Chains A and B, each alone.
Chain A
Amino acid sequence: MSTGNMNLTLKVWRQKNNNAKGALVDYKLADISPDMSFLEMFDVLNEQLINKGEEPVVFDHDCREGICGMCSMFINGRPHGPKDLVTTCQLHMRSFKDGDTIVVEPWRAAAFPVVKDLTVDRSAFDRVIAAGGFISVNTGNAQDANNLPIPKMQADAAFEAAACIGCGACVATCKNASAMLFVSAKISQLALLPQGQPERYRRVQSMVAQMDAEGFGNCTNTGACEAECPKGISLENIARMNRDFASAKFISEETV
């Protein structure tokens, strides 16, 4: 069993609700174990706050194994903290040093309003998916799965795009609060598969329209989203989305 020996200073964003004004509040933590996850360190902080009769810090989290996409802290200026390819829940305190000061803020984007403390509202992502991030096939209409061979390379590429966990780190890190990495990952997954072809151009138009309506910014190719994505979603997806979006104007006879 590990014993904790790290002493830390946390500066945590506290905000009562969406209408309230928020501020960074300082907390001291002692005897933190390097084997703790970042969220377990927050559990320790919250236990201390409750014992002192204060309200704990509210933050989103659920699976704590890097796949549900719920955790969302902006740590020392980076979404999900200093390590590449991990979510906050998979970030461990061994990535920090004794005596460190750590600043923790919520995702910041107009389309992700703060709900409370470190929790934001990401329902805009759901509405983008509802606008077209699917294949229109009702239950019970499917043919035998192996009647449709798909080249492995293509299936693998679709899977890589589909690995997006919808956490919103791409939006949080982008200076324009653009959601293009998220939106293009879904568009790419379906555009790479034969099942996705019938709705391909209609899909890209309606999803992009919804993305704009939600107030996400445009892409200026800085690539921060790709660098910060905990699942390594590639910038190529944005290129593919832009190509499809341009093509759609010529190909699609449907108006969206």
Chain B
Amino acid sequence: MSDINSNIPEGELTSKWTKYKSSVPLVNPSNKRTIEVIIVGSGLAGASAAATLAEMGYKVKCFCFQDSPRRAHSIAAQGGINAAKNYQNDGDSVYRLFYDTIKGGDYRAREANVHRLAEVSANIIDQCVAQGVPLAREYGGLLDNRSFGGTQVQRTFYAAGQTGQQLLLGAYSALERQIGMGKVEMYTRHEMLEVVKIDGKARGIIARNLITGEIERHFGHAVVLGTGGYGNVFYLSTNAMGSNVTAAWKAHKQGAYFANPCYTQIHPTCIPVSGDHQSKLTLMSESLRNDGRIWVPKKKDDNRKASEIPEDERDYYLERRYPAFGNLVPRDVASRAAKERCDAGYGVGASKLAVYLDFKANTERYGKIEAAKAGNHNPDKETCMRLGTAVIKEKYGNLFDMYAQITGENPYETPMRIYPAVHYTMGGLWVDYNLMTSVPGLYCTGEANFSDHGANRLGASALMQGLADGYFVLPYTIGAYLSKEISVKAIPTDHPAFVEAEERAVGILNTLINIKGTKSVDHFHKRLGHIMWEKCGMARNAKGLNEAIEEIRALRAEFWSDVRVPGTADELNTELEKAGRVADFIELGELMCIDALNRNESCGGHFREEYQTEEGEALRDDENYAYVAAWEFKEGVNFELHKEELKFENIKVAQRSYK
């Protein structure tokens, strides 16, 4: 059934990667010095790859649109990073991490990639600690772990609620070290606008200097995109304001297939929308579900305050529906359950689009333990709450402060109100086992590719994948390609392919400036987001998706005739930057709906209302849809479907159950 080759090595699952590593062709040090690699993006996947390739001896150029590589959105990841270390002696292993990830992804990920991810996970922790990343420790001086959704072991390493920040600053330090040594040329405030292809191979990029507006041509023997996810297609998401799909989308238009675009992760624990002015949504880390219990009132439209609702009138619906995993079910399951309760009229808060995340029971429990440690075995409630609050504060202080700052409520006293929000995109550029896209020499790492999370990503796995790709996978696999490129001399950038790519990029910028319409870029972005959230969000159906496709096409036409971009292209022009990104989001949005419409099943983050069990759980169709949908861009914004069949040889495919 597959019409694309994923280049998975032969052999036993557990030995594929080891064998691959010891047999992959190498590039000798003197040749590495003349080989140039372009890396777009400086988050976990980009910075780690840039640093590692430079350490290996390649000439590296790294690009980011922010003012410093340290600002990439990986920095905002809160909860943690998974690794199969089994430090807690709770039965964890590479196989279990592999199994949990495949199952969590609802059997829509590639076995060989996921197993490799689990294999290198332990090395990541070692590497980061060696770099001086201050991960949380126990009193004995060893590393601490916590639980995340979709697993029954404690394998998540963390640094308070700032794990992404600490890991990114580790990768950033490694990158800056190479920059200081002159081995990486860093281009900050630069945005990639085109991929340059020569004889079918990726040979460079066109980038815009965002300060001066200058268009630059850069050659590379290979190009790596570590440019993150596309959640901002929904306008409101937990992504940073600048997060965008442009680099990936331009690559897509140059022949890189886009895989599973409809797989979107809606995170269950975000701060609810407070008004029309809202520009972004803020996540409250999944780690809070370790100690928080999620509930709604048993009575419909209950307007009492949370504290006035007695225990027996509360519905802890996750614990009720999923006794085995309780509040720690995977994100897709938790999100849908919250939506179900709110749609049924049990939501809380002014908007009624929220549920409670309540820390009281665990605060009291921690307080009891602390009191006992101090010799008080019969503490009163007030003592328990006081001591317990200190424990909660140490674990999640920054998150509680952020919640208080945004909502104006004190979460130590009243339960948090939370609601699902767009958070992560499992889909992305299709890559083979080598992380190479369908364009030779063009690689894609981290959230920007589709490879490891199937239809739903487990918590604390994004940091793991980004760093696995950048530190431990790509540096090997890119050698397989570059070893055949050693005789290629740097191609001068006056080559016709560079000229043509630059003309395309400049053409788009000029068109956007010259439309001189009546509506702002944000106006179109908000409307796109509204269509996507209503019709391609947490629940989808054929009718809605068909409508969405028509509406997005109409929106695209309107955008290209009525958008207003003030200023010029030869200066710092943030509206022009946004306009280019929103133009790409509009095209991507259409493809997401097409993909969602094509997939006549429910799996993970893709929930088609027509396909559900009697209990309202996602109903897969393994016979017809156990494939990766890889879309090829065709002239005039059309898309052709290619299929990569998913074979499960080591895991028994089953209906996912967390009961």
Interface pair B176/A129, CB less than 8 Å apart: yes
Interface pair B130/A141, CB less than 8 Å apart: yes
Interface pair A64/B129, CB less than 8 Å apart: no
Residues of A within 8 A of B34 (CB): none
The answer, yes or no, to whether A58 is at the interface (CB within 8 Å) is yes
Interface pair B68/A123, CB less than 8 Å apart: yes
Interface pair A126/B68, CB less than 8 Å apart: yes
Residues of B within 8 A of A131 (CB): 180
The answer, yes or no, to whether A79 is at the interface (CB within 8 Å) is no
Residues of A within 8 A of B401 (CB): 85
Nearest residue in A to B53 (C-beta to C-beta)? A139
Task: In the complex, identify which listed stretch (A98-106, A187-195, A214-222, A242-250) lies at the interface while the others stay far away.
Answer: A187-195
Nearest residue in B to A41 (C-beta to C-beta)? B277
The answer, yes or no, to whether B509 is at the interface (CB within 8 Å) is no
Q: How far is the CA of A47 from the CA of B276 in the complex (A)?
A: 13
The answer, yes or no, to whether A65 is at the interface (CB within 8 Å) is yes
Minimum Cβ distance to chain B for residue A173 (Å): 19
The answer, yes or no, to whether B24 is at the interface (CB within 8 Å) is no
Residues of B within 8 A of A189 (CB): 132, 134
Residues of A within 8 A of B278 (CB): 40
Nearest residue in A to B405 (C-beta to C-beta)? A90
Interface pair B67/A121, CB less than 8 Å apart: yes
The answer, yes or no, to whether B177 is at the interface (CB within 8 Å) is yes
Identify which of B70, B73, B85, B472 contacts A166 (C-beta below 8 A).
B70
Minimum Cβ distance to chain A for residue B312 (Å): 32
Interface flags, A175-211, vs B, CB<8A=1, else 0: 0000000000000011001011000000000000000
Interface pair B522/A130, CB less than 8 Å apart: no
Interface residues in B109-151 (C-beta closer than 8 Å to A): 123, 125-143
The answer, yes or no, to whether A256 is at the interface (CB within 8 Å) is no
Identify which of B125, B129, B276, B277 contacts A195 (C-beta below 8 A).
B129
Identify which of A16, A53, A159 contacts B166 (C-beta below 8 A).
A159
Q: How far is the CA of A196 from the CA of B133 in the complex (A)?
A: 11
Minimum Cβ distance to chain A for residue B60 (Å): 13
Minimum Cβ distance to chain B for residue A214 (Å): 14
Number of A-B residue pairs, CB cutoff 8 Å, is: 227
Nearest residue in B to A206 (C-beta to C-beta)? B180
Q: How far is the CA of A135 from the CA of B68 in the complex (A)?
A: 19
Minimum Cβ distance to chain A for residue B132 (Å): 5
Minimum Cβ distance to chain A for residue B171 (Å): 10
Interface pair A135/B132, CB less than 8 Å apart: yes
Minimum Cβ distance to chain B for residue A16 (Å): 8
Identify which of A50, A65, A135 contacts B402 (C-beta below 8 A).
A65
Q: How far is the CA of A219 from the CA of B536 in the complex (A)?
A: 55
Minimum Cβ distance to chain A for residue B19 (Å): 18
Interface pair A58/B574, CB less than 8 Å apart: yes
Task: In the complex, identify which listed stretch (B8-16, B456-464, B563-571) lies at the interface while the others stay far away.
Answer: B563-571
Interface pair B241/A146, CB less than 8 Å apart: no
The answer, yes or no, to whether B598 is at the interface (CB within 8 Å) is no
Nearest residue in A to B144 (C-beta to C-beta)? A152
Residues of A within 8 A of B241 (CB): 61-64
Residues of B within 8 A of A68 (CB): 66, 71, 73, 75-76, 240
Interface pair B76/A145, CB less than 8 Å apart: no
Interface pair B566/A50, CB less than 8 Å apart: yes
Interface pair A152/B274, CB less than 8 Å apart: no
The answer, yes or no, to whether A108 is at the interface (CB within 8 Å) is no
Interface pair B127/A139, CB less than 8 Å apart: yes
Minimum Cβ distance to chain A for residue B216 (Å): 17
Residues of A within 8 A of B68 (CB): 122-123, 125-126, 166
Interface pair B131/A69, CB less than 8 Å apart: no
The answer, yes or no, to whether A94 is at the interface (CB within 8 Å) is yes
The answer, yes or no, to whether A55 is at the interface (CB within 8 Å) is yes
Interface pair B405/A92, CB less than 8 Å apart: yes
Interface pair A162/B166, CB less than 8 Å apart: yes
Identify which of B87, B142, B275 contacts A1 (C-beta below 8 A).
B275
Identify which of A53, A94, A119, A138 contacts B408 (C-beta below 8 A).
A94
Nearest residue in B to A69 (C-beta to C-beta)? B71
Interface pair A195/B572, CB less than 8 Å apart: no
Q: How far is the CA of A139 from the CA of B566 in the complex (A)?
A: 46
The answer, yes or no, to whether B280 is at the interface (CB within 8 Å) is yes
The answer, yes or no, to whether B282 is at the interface (CB within 8 Å) is yes
Identify which of B134, B143, B275 contacts A35 (C-beta below 8 A).
B275
Nearest residue in B to A135 (C-beta to C-beta)? B132
The answer, yes or no, to whether A39 is at the interface (CB within 8 Å) is yes
Q: How far is the CA of A247 from the CA of B567 in the complex (A)?
A: 54
Interface flags, B266-280, vs A, CB<8A=1, else 0: 000000001111111
Most chain A CB inside 10 Å of its own CB: which residue of B51, B87, B141, B166: B141
The answer, yes or no, to whether B379 is at the interface (CB within 8 Å) is no
Residues of A within 8 A of B238 (CB): 65
Q: How far is the CA of A131 from the CA of B182 in the complex (A)?
A: 11
Minimum Cβ distance to chain B for residue A15 (Å): 11
Residues of B within 8 A of A90 (CB): 402, 405-406
Minimum Cβ distance to chain B for residue A152 (Å): 5
Q: How far is the CA of A1 from the CA of B277 in the complex (A)?
A: 10
Residues of B within 8 A of A159 (CB): 134, 136, 159-160, 166
The answer, yes or no, to whether A158 is at the interface (CB within 8 Å) is yes
Residues of A within 8 A of B282 (CB): 64-65
Residues of A within 8 A of B408 (CB): 35, 92, 94
Interface residues in A71-102 (C-beta closer than 8 Å to B): 85-86, 90, 92, 94
Nearest residue in A to B180 (C-beta to C-beta)? A130
Nearest residue in A to B169 (C-beta to C-beta)? A162
The answer, yes or no, to whether B538 is at the interface (CB within 8 Å) is no
Interface residues in B41-93 (C-beta closer than 8 Å to A): 48, 51-52, 55, 66-71, 73, 75-76, 85, 87
Interface flags, B348-367, vs A, CB<8A=1, else 0: 00110000000000000000
Interface pair A126/B69, CB less than 8 Å apart: yes
Interface pair A134/B70, CB less than 8 Å apart: no
Interface pair A143/B180, CB less than 8 Å apart: no
Q: How far is the CA of A137 from the CA of B574 in the complex (A)?
A: 38
Interface pair B520/A51, CB less than 8 Å apart: yes
Residues of B within 8 A of A142 (CB): 123, 126-127, 129-130
Interface residues in B203-248 (C-beta closer than 8 Å to A): 211, 238, 240-242
Q: How far is the CA of A33 from the CA of B278 in the complex (A)?
A: 11
Nearest residue in A to B276 (C-beta to C-beta)? A1
Minimum Cβ distance to chain B for residue A75 (Å): 15
The 3 closest A-B pairs by CB, nearest first: A149-B141, A130-B180, A134-B173
Can you identify 9 A-B contacts, CB atoms within 8 angstroms?
Answer: A43-B277, A67-B165, A121-B67, A123-B67, A134-B174, A137-B127, A141-B130, A145-B126, A162-B169
* Contacts A43-B279, A67-B75, A85-B401 supplied; 12 other A-B pairs, CB < 8 Å: A40-B278, A62-B66, A67-B164, A70-B67, A121-B67, A126-B70, A130-B179, A134-B131, A134-B176, A140-B123, A146-B142, A146-B143
